[in-house]
Structure 1
């Protein structure tokens, strides 16, 4: 794998190996029997008929392991009213929480912040339960009180100790303490003013404490500032349009509200513009870094898919090498290329489990952008708006293979016994 340290003038601190997702690696992306998920049955119903939901994350402990509160599993999702056009859901997104005893039957606990969070709306993040305190990291998008919708993004955190459990329910209440934790520095991470690409990204915070070293990190999605003369696409395309990276901050004190930016952990310069929802899973003494990305975010000359992409390293700090040589771990079938998105991975015994949301089905265009050309009723008809089946994944060093699926909203934890693996088809 081709790794490059950032140049001295950018002031590297902390001995991170800034690994690169190279065009040579990405050009080998292909659908294989080992990485294509089965077709999702569109007849499944939403968990709550009044809500559409998409990006979802499970409650974890400081070390990235899925955890429970008095035996209750807790999940968090971005949500919007069910009668809203799916294309507009990001403009009103709010975080709701859900809870389950068995990881199969889930109940909605309600809106998490109820108006006291930063931003016009809240986008994806992560949640950590630590010694009775709940920490939620989220993307504060826009500014509260703005009259127009904006896409300014800052990384925020909130905490409360008002978490209650009973025989029939989990309650999460305020008051919450909110803080803005990180903003782009313009050096390692592109500011909104510097952005000239398709979209602007500084979002998706993911808390992780390395159980081997005790070092505490916050991963996030961002873009790297590049000079005006940079061009790696080979066809005159300005590579600033394809400058996605996985950013990282360090907490010297291990305080979840105390962070210092570091140089990116992984860059996709000239390959991809959005490396969304980065997260790390420690498995078999290795560190697996995962992101989701869209087909239309790949640079010209790179034929990628909607998919979960991953890298593996022997330490959190890298260097990282792509799983399956190309980085592709899971993708949708060719006749349902947009059926799932926003994959999240967690360890369960000898396997990894992968959940995602049921996105657009009965649609096989070249890009999600084409969805907007459909009528509002057709967009709504084709949008799943709930969690899809949980995938079972085997990983062995730098190789991965899908083993089969569990039901939608089946999110096992702890000692839950899984059925014997079945064929993925």
Structure 2
């Protein structure tokens, strides 16, 4: 049932805030409301007692999903894909050599390394994407081809690529194999989506493809991160060119046939012109008849005059192409504690029973600098020590209408299997304790006990 405050939220937030080329925009006034609260701040994260995949740094991660958006289970295995680099590499250099690896688990807690996915992918290196387990058992992988093929020096051209031909064999354990065929699916058109040569901002983006089949209409979509072209001297943002350079957007393409390799660009879902330069890894959770659009963004990509955080942000609409309004009035859904502002990043939400779960990677901990740039000034041994480089604890969210609340956490790498019952949250135990008052005490189950 839709939250009864939903209509009031739309009215109070100003339904109909159009973007620059998008139907909806994240406005400066909305983003001014960003602040840490008990409902949006995640607990402090500490390293796990034993690292599961110590041979590689692991960061942006996505799960193999069915067409309906649920996490796939292939003969009892959960499957995920991550950007990886050798663990003896200085963490700040990892993006320059990023390789997609596959990991699998038969219990949602203990994960195993299936190795690099591709032998010969497009681009100089590969950045984040998504993965589809299609109805016939075939695997499609969508990713960002970063850099020009064959170039001697690192370049930052970005294309959206789809790879077909994957299959999973569980006859004797787990194996993902090809042969893979790679297809360039989308490049920016310069009108809806900025080309690299048009970019005036600190960061250029055309990446992070995410497959989504709309359960209401059956239409097939590909979301991605992009930038909205804003001509110099435009009256957008009152003509302030400095603000116009902050032009992040959530792009979208439609497949007219449902073919995962056939796409046509459409107008963006949402943009943040004058607010934020980088709306990373956009994805949707469909729940209670509403479309929840989530993105990750950084402290340093907000426009002047705004104070945001490295955090998961979210928006909600009544249909996929609808008038999105920010969750919790500002858009902030989950962020790091003030004394550990960079401990997690690259959040990805997915439904599980009555909750929405959120995984991320364990980034820099034991570090409370004002910017990540300060990491580079530490001794290399300290840069290595303070980098998590693995999946972090999974957050548990209560989501209702336009409001979200962090209600608990699971362990590092804990991605529950379908139907797995989660331990009660502190809120549930408090509620039960009030109901049972006078009839004895109750015991709070810890994460270690639940395992």
Which TM class, normalised by the smaller chain length? over 0.9
Q: TM-score, normalised by structure 1?
A: 0.94
Partner of residue 284, structure 1: 288
Matched, 1:357 2:370: no
Matched, 1:256 2:269: no
- How far did residue 6 of structure 1 move? 6.7
2:346 equivalent to 1:333: no
1:339-394, Cα deviation, whole Å (9 max, x unpaired): 00000000001000000000001111111122222222221111000001000000
The 1-side partners of 2:275 and 2:84 are apart by 31
Instruction: Name the structure where helix makes up a greater proportion of residues.
Output: 2
Give the superposed CA RMSD. 1.8
Contact 2:19 2:272 in 1 (8 A): no
For structure 1, the 5+ residue unaligned runs are 11-16
1:138 aligns with 2:143: yes
Deviation at residue 132 of structure 1 after TM alignment: 1.1
Any idea what SS the aligned residue of 2:126 has? strand
Pick from 274, 281, 287 the counterpart of residue 278 of structure 2: 274
2:437 aligned partner: none
Residue in structure 2 matched with residue 13 of structure 1 by the alignment: none
Alignment of 1:374-393 (within 5 A): 374-393=378-397
Residue 408 (structure 1) aligned to one of 409, 412, 418: 412
Matching residue within 407, 419, 425 for 2:423: 419
Paired with 1:150 and 1:44, the residues of 2 have a C-alpha distance of: 38
Q: CA offset at residue 318 of structure 1?
A: 1.2
Could you tell me whether the CA contact under 8 Å between 2:128 and 2:143 is conserved in 1? yes
Q: Which moved more, 1:229-238 or 1:33-42?
A: 229-238
Unaligned runs of 5+ residues in structure 2 are 1-13, 429-445, 447-451
Q: TM-score scaled to structure 2, two decimals?
A: 0.89
Pairing 1:46-195 to 2, within 5 Å after superposition: 46-114=51-119, 116-130=120-134, 131-166=136-171, 169-195=173-199
CA contact 2:15–2:323 (8 Å) conserved in 1: no
| Cα distance between partner residues in 1 of 2:247 and 2:302 | 10
Aligned partner of 2:298 in structure 1 is: 294
Task: Tell me by how many angstroms 1:5 deviates.
Answer: 5.2
Q: What is the number of equivalent residue pairs in this alignment?
A: 415
**Which stretch of the first structure deviates more once superposed, 139-148 or 86-95?**
139-148
> Residues 46-96 of structure 1, C-alpha deviation per residue, up to 9 Å, x if partnerless?
322210100001110112111111111001100000010100000000000
Match of 1:14 in 2: none
Q: Which residue of 2 aligns with 1:369?
A: 373
Partner residue, 1:200? 204
Q: CA deviation at 1:2?
A: 4.9
Paired position in structure 1 for 2:434 = none
Residues 43, 174 of structure 1: alpha-carbon distance in 2 compared, 3 angstrom cutoff: closer
- Residue 239 of structure 1: how far off its partner (Å): 2.4
- CA positional deviation for 1:3: 3.2
Distance in 1, matches of 2:307 and 2:50, equals: 33
Question: Residues 72 and 299 of structure 1: is their aligned pair in 2 closer, same or farther, counting only changes over 3 Å?
Answer: same
Aligned to 1:59, the other structure's residue is in SS state: strand
Structure 1 174/205 Cα, relative in aligned 2: closer, same or farther at 3 Å? same
Q: 1:45 to 1:297 in 2, by over 3 A?
A: farther
